[in-house]
C-alpha cells in the first residue's frame, strides 16, 4: 500500500529535546520515558485548570539500543513468546509485559529503538497519521541505502516486498501508547541485530511473514550511527520540529 505523507511546516512551537541513550536497560529506559510522559501530561492538566499557566512546548525523542529483551503489548498473546523463564536466561534475555499497543517484539543490540514522547496537540490529533509519519521516516531512511520499503494495509510497521504475499518481510515494528494526546513507546528498526533472537517469538503475532534487517538485505552491516543521523533528519523534516540542545 502506498500512502502519500506531506511534511509539516517547521513551527517554533514544536521543540524537541533529542537524546541518544546508547545501550540502556529496558526497564530503566521505560521508567525514564514514563517520567517524561507524565511531566508533559501534568503540564497540560495544569494549563487546563489554570489558563494562565505556561503552555506545554516540551517534547522528547529518544534513541536507544537495549540488551536482549522481549516486550508484549497489552493486546498481545503471551503464547507468542516461545521460551520459558529458564530458556530466557539461557539466551540472556528478559521479558516485560508493557502498556503499549501491539503484540510481542524483540529489542537488542544492532537495532535502533526510537521513543518519541510528543504532545500531538502541537502536531495533529490523529494517531493513525502519527504512525504513518514514523513509518515514513524509516522508509525514507531505507531509500538512502537503496532499499525500497512500504506499508501493508491493515498492518503497522515497515515492510519490504510489501505487495507480494509470499516475499513480504518486516524491517521495523511499531507499538505506541497515547494518552491526552501525548505519545509513549515507538518503533524498533532492524539495522544489524542478531536475527536468531526473532526465532524465539512469533513477531507481532504474525506467523506467515518473516522479519529482516538492513544487514540481511544489503549483505553488509551499515554503520548504525550513520543510520541514526539519517533517521533523525527524516523525523525532523516530516514532523516540522526544531531540536533543542
Cα 75 from Cα 134, distance rounded (Å): 21
Backbone CA torsion sign across 74, 22, 183, 42: positive
Residue 212 lies in a domain: yes
Could you tell me the three cell numbers for 134? 514514523
Burial class (CB in 10 A: 0-12, 13-18, 19+), 110: middle
Cβ-count burial 175-211 (b if 16+ within 10 Å, e if not): bbbbeebbbbbbbbbbbbbebebbebbbbbbbeebeb
What number is the average pLDDT over the span 146-161?
95
Which among 18, 34, 90 has a CA at the least distance from the CA of 235? 18
User: Does the residue 23 lie in any domain?
Assistant: yes
- Quick check: is 34 in a domain? yes
Considering its fold, how many domains does the chain have in total?
1
Spot the catalytic one: 149, 204, 214, 235: 204
Does residue 8 sit within a domain? no
Is the predicted pLDDT of residue 159 greater than 70, yes or no? yes
Task: Say if 6 falls within a structural domain.
Answer: no
pLDDT in tens, 86-123: 999 999 999 999 989 889 999 999 999 999 999 999 99
Q: Answer whether residue 2 is part of any domain.
A: no
CATH value at residue 134: 3.30.930.10
Per-residue pLDDT, averaged over 41-60, amounts to 84
Decide if 7 is inside a domain.
no
Please give the pLDDT value at position 226: 98
Q: Which domain holds residue 147?
A: 15-244
- Do the domain assignments include residue 169? yes
204 is known as an active-site residue: yes
Q: What is the mean pLDDT of residues 239-245?
A: 90
Task: Map residue 33 onto helix, strand or coil.
Answer: helix
How far is the C-alpha of 144 from the C-alpha of 81, rounded, in Å? Answer: 34
pLDDT of residue 1: 45
Q: Among 10-14, 28-32, 190-194, whose mean pLDDT is lowest? A: 10-14
Amino acid at each position: 500500500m502506498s500512502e502519500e505523507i506531506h511534511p509539516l511546516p517547521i513551527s517554533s512551537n514544536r521543540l524537541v529535546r533529542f537524546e541518544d541513550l546508547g545501550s540502556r536497560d529496558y526497564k530503566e529506559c521505560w521508567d525514564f520515558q514514563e517520567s517524561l510522559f507524565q511531566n508533559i501530561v501534568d503540564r497540560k492538566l495544569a494549563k487546563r485548570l489554570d489558563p494562565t499557566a505556561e503552555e506545554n512546548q516540551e517534547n522528547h525523542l529518544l534513541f536507544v539500543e537495549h540488551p536482549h529483551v522481549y516486550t508484549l503489548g497489552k493486546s498481545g498473546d503471551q503464547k507468542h513468546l516461545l521460551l520459558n523463564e529458564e530458556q530466557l536466561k539461557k539466551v540472556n534475555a528478559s521479558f516485560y509485559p508493557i502498556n503499549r499497543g501491539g503484540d510481542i517484539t524483540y529489542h537488542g543490540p544492532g537495532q535502533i529503538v526510537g521513543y518519541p514522547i510528543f504532545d500531538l496537540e502541537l502536531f495533529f490529533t490523529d494517531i493513525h497519521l502519527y504512525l504513518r509519519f514514523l513509518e515514513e521516516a524509516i522508509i525514507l531512511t531505507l531509500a538512502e541505502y537503496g532499499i525500497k520499503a512500504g506499508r501493508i494495509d491493515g498492518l503497522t510497521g515497515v515492510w519490504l516486498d510489501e505487495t507480494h504475499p509470499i516475499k513480504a518481510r518486516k524491517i521495523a515494528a511499531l507499538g505506541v501508547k497515547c494518552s491526552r494526546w501525548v505519545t509513549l513507546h515507538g518503533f524498533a528498526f532492524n539495522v544489524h541485530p542478531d536475527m536468531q533472537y526473532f526465532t524465539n517469538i512469533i513477531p507481532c503475532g504474525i506467523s506467515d511473514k518473516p522479519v529482516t534487517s538492513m544487514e540481511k538485505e544489503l549483505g553488509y552491516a551499515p554503520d548504525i550511527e550513520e543510520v541514526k543521523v539519517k533517521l533523525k533528519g527524516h523525523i525532523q523534516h516530516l514532523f516540522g520540529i526544531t531540536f533543542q540542545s
